Amino acid sequence: MTQPPRRRLPLFWLRAAQQETGSAAVEFALIAPVILLILAVTFEIGLTLRAKSRLVGAISATAHQTLDSAATVDDGTAQTVATALLGGLAGRGRSATVNLNNAVTARLEGGTIVVTDTGAPVANCYCPTWGEAGYDWNASMACNTDCADGSLAGRFVQITAQAPFTSILGAYSFFSPETLQNSAVVRLP
């Protein structure tokens, strides 16, 4: 049996296969999307950390302000103090809540402050515990008595803030939720 004659590649294709011009452009076209994705994810993480840091900073500043104003908190000034504490948390679409020793709650939503007075005295002491829905104040107790967890009953302020966050990656974002949230509980002296 005779084999069919082999076909030779035209001279043009042989020369094109040996040339390396344009190979850098092809390599760049293959690698560029990966590099751009890595840059976008890095930028996204940076933006998320920056927004979270700003929220934590606002809560920290409010906690320091709470400690500074602790001596002036009584039943007559509780609503004013709770409203003033929200001032440091306002801005950029944030919603926030300041619960002043389970007696007065000030809530900031959409730029409007709503103050709710439970009627409980600000001087009451509590042993708050962390529950599924947040902090549970439990029943009031005598100040400086032992709590179930070994701490002492006291007066507390719960500060919670939420801020909206929009991802630059949109639906492809795996790193950031749509709302950043943080909270702190401060024991009053």
Comparing 148 with 4, which gets the higher pLDDT? 148
Q: Tell me whether residue 11 is in a domain.
A: no
Within 8 A by CB and 6+ apart from 64, the residues are none
CA distances from 18 to 7, 21, 23, 30, 175 (A): 19, 9, 11, 21, 46
Give the tokens for residue 6: 């082999």
| pLDDT band, very low/low/confident/very high, at 34 (cuts 50, 70, 90) | very high
Digit-coded pLDDT (tens) for 69-124: 877 777 777 888 888 887 777 776 778 888 888 888 888 877 788 888 888 888 88
In a domain, 5, yes or no: no
User: In terms of pLDDT, which residue wins out, 17 or 133?
Assistant: 133
Q: How far is CA 165 from CA 49, 52, 83, in A?
A: 11, 9, 25
Return the minimum-mean-pLDDT range out of 89-103, 130-144, 161-175: 161-175
Of 120, 76, 87, give the one whose Cα is nearest residue 101.
Answer: 120
The answer to the question of residue 13 being in a domain is no
Task: Answer whether residue 178 is part of any domain.
Answer: yes
How do residues 141-159 score in pLDDT, each as one tens digit?
888 888 888 888 888 888 8
Torsion of CA 99, 101, 103, 107, to 10 degrees: -10
Residue 32 has pLDDT above 90, yes or no: yes
Please indicate, yes or no, if residue 172 is contained in any of the structural domains.
yes
The CB-based long-range contact list for 31-38 (8 Å cut-off, 24+ gap) reads none
Q: Considering the domain boundaries, does residue 9 fall inside one?
A: no
Structural domain harbouring 146: 23-188
- How many domains are contained in the chain? 1
Name every residue whose Cβ is closer than 8 Å to that of residue 183 and which is 6 or more positions away in sequence.
59, 134, 158, 159, 160, 161
pTM of the entire structure? 0.73
What is the predicted pLDDT for the residue at 12?
A: 64
Domain contains 16: no
Which has the closest alpha carbon to 69: 88, 56, 57, 82? 82
- Chain centroid to Cα 9, Å, comes to 63
For the chain, percent of residues with pLDDT exceeding 90: 3
87 in a structural domain: yes
pLDDT at 30 over 70: yes
How much is the pLDDT for 64? 86
